[in-house]
Amino acid sequence: MEVYLGTSQLFSVPTTVADHLLGIASHDQLKILLYILAHSNQKLSDTDIARACKVRAEAVEEALVFWQSVNVLQNDAQPTICHVTAQTPAQPSPAAFQASSAAPKTEPSSVTAPPAAVSDSSESVEANVQTTSSGFHLLPSEIAARKQENPAIAAMLTAAEQRVGHPLIHTELRSIFWMHEYLGLAPDLIFMIVAYCVEIERFSVRYMETIAVEWCKRGILTHELAVEDIEFRTASRSFTRKIMRIFEMKRRPTPKQQDYIDKWQQMNLSPELVEYAYHKTRDNANDQLSFPYLHKILQAWHTEGIRTVAEASAADAAYHEAKRKVPEPQQTPRKGTKEPYQPAAHSYDLNEIEALMKKI
């Protein structure tokens, strides 16, 4: 087989890549390297590379670290590679997560925290802390050294890999060390986050860090509070799945819909009572599901102390019975008389109606 290459489409690839690194580098790492080398005269961002190679942004950063660690790519300051990463603000020290007199602005979450897990404002976090590990750079050699220096972290990482089912990649390891060294989470808390994300099939750096930052902001820094929060999240997901089945929802609820569902769970409403109210709304709203209308019904029942379908059914029956007994309002008398106005009663048969229609 003969292969011909146009000279205008050629670019150089270091020989060491073909001789020594093809069996080590991942498929994404090779794609990213080839794209960078083909556009070495351009300034590229992580987003540009990820979009062109159809990979995650985290994979781009991981590939850059890998190729720099094996001396295939040079640092950003070198002119041969014009790759530039997105600018990130200076990262404050972990001390920013210490006590603060001002309450921070917490990020919205689809899961509302149980009241017992919320800490005082004196244990809250500064509002300007970093919320991702994107600016936390660690080489593979540095990660290996930290694992040797901290047996507790090393043991947790081993357990985490067993729970995940495969070795952790660089971005996942970097994220875990960021949670430990920057956020200050203990190894057992980090493992709980990993295990929970695996359990709900949402194991990703972004989702793990979202939970980790939320725990720091809410002061969930002990094993007991972490267990309580995980149990609440698990119960919330179970409640949501039941509501989705009742509503015959094929997609995940929107954030606004999830907010309603979380409120029903906080009111300790049973799925059966929600289903009863759901059928009422469909009967009264042209067979359409209306979350605001449904919420008003459930909120009224909660205020009245109605907790079961039987109690709601009895309340509905009592309401309709009381409405049936209300007398009809009397008609207003005609002007100048004491008798109420009564419209003339007419009764036409079919022949009379046809005769009237011919005259019109």
Confidence band, pLDDT 50/70/90 cuts, at residue 316: confident
Same domain, 108 and 208: yes
Provide the token pair at 136.
């936390």
Question: Which pLDDT does position 183 carry in this prediction?
Answer: 92
Q: Which one has a higher pLDDT value, 83 or 18?
A: 18
Task: Give residue for tokens 């921070």.
Answer: 104
Cα 353 from chain centre: 66
Q: Who's near 170: CB < 8 A, 6+ residues apart?
A: 62, 65, 66, 140, 143
Model pLDDT for residues 330-347, shown as the tens digit of each residue: 656 656 665 655 555 445
pLDDT score at 184: 92
Whether 4 has a pLDDT exceeding 80, the answer reads: no
* Together in a domain, 145 and 188: yes
Mean pLDDT along residues 23-31: 81
What is the structure's pLDDT at 359?
54
Number of other residues whose CB lies within 10 A of the CB of residue 56 = 16
pLDDT reported for residue 180: 94
* Residue 136 falls inside a structural domain: yes
Give 3-state DSSP helix, strand, coil % of the chain, rounded to 5. 60, 0, 40
> Is 284 among the domain residues?
yes
At 221, is the pLDDT very low, low, confident or very high (cuts 50, 70, 90)? Answer: very high
Q: What is the pLDDT of residue 93?
A: 42
Does residue 105 have a pLDDT over 80? no
The pLDDT, as a whole number, for residue 112 is: 44
Model confidence pLDDT, tens digit, residues 179-214: 999 999 999 999 999 999 998 888 999 999 999 999
The pLDDT score that the predictor gives to residue 215 is 94
300 and 231 in a common domain = no
171 has pLDDT over 70: yes
Both 215 and 107 in one domain: the answer is: yes
Same domain, 119 and 219: yes
In a domain, 207, yes or no: yes
Q: Is 241 among the domain residues?
A: no
| Same domain assignment for residues 52 and 167 | no
Let me know if residue 305 belongs to a domain.
yes
Tokens of 289: 């599901």
Q: Do 115 and 193 sit in the same domain of this protein? A: yes
In a domain, 34, yes or no: yes
Residues 109 and 225 in one domain: yes
Please check whether residue 54 lies inside any domain of the structure.
yes
Query: What domain range is 33 assigned to?
Result: 10-69
Same domain (yes/no): 167, 222: yes
The total number of structural domains that make up the chain = 3
**Does any domain span residue 349?**
no
Verify that 228 and 106 share a domain, yes or no. yes
Same domain, 180 and 102: yes
Q: Tell me the average pLDDT of the chain.
A: 76
> What percentage of the chain carries pLDDT values higher than 70?
71
Residues 108 and 64 grouped into a single domain: no
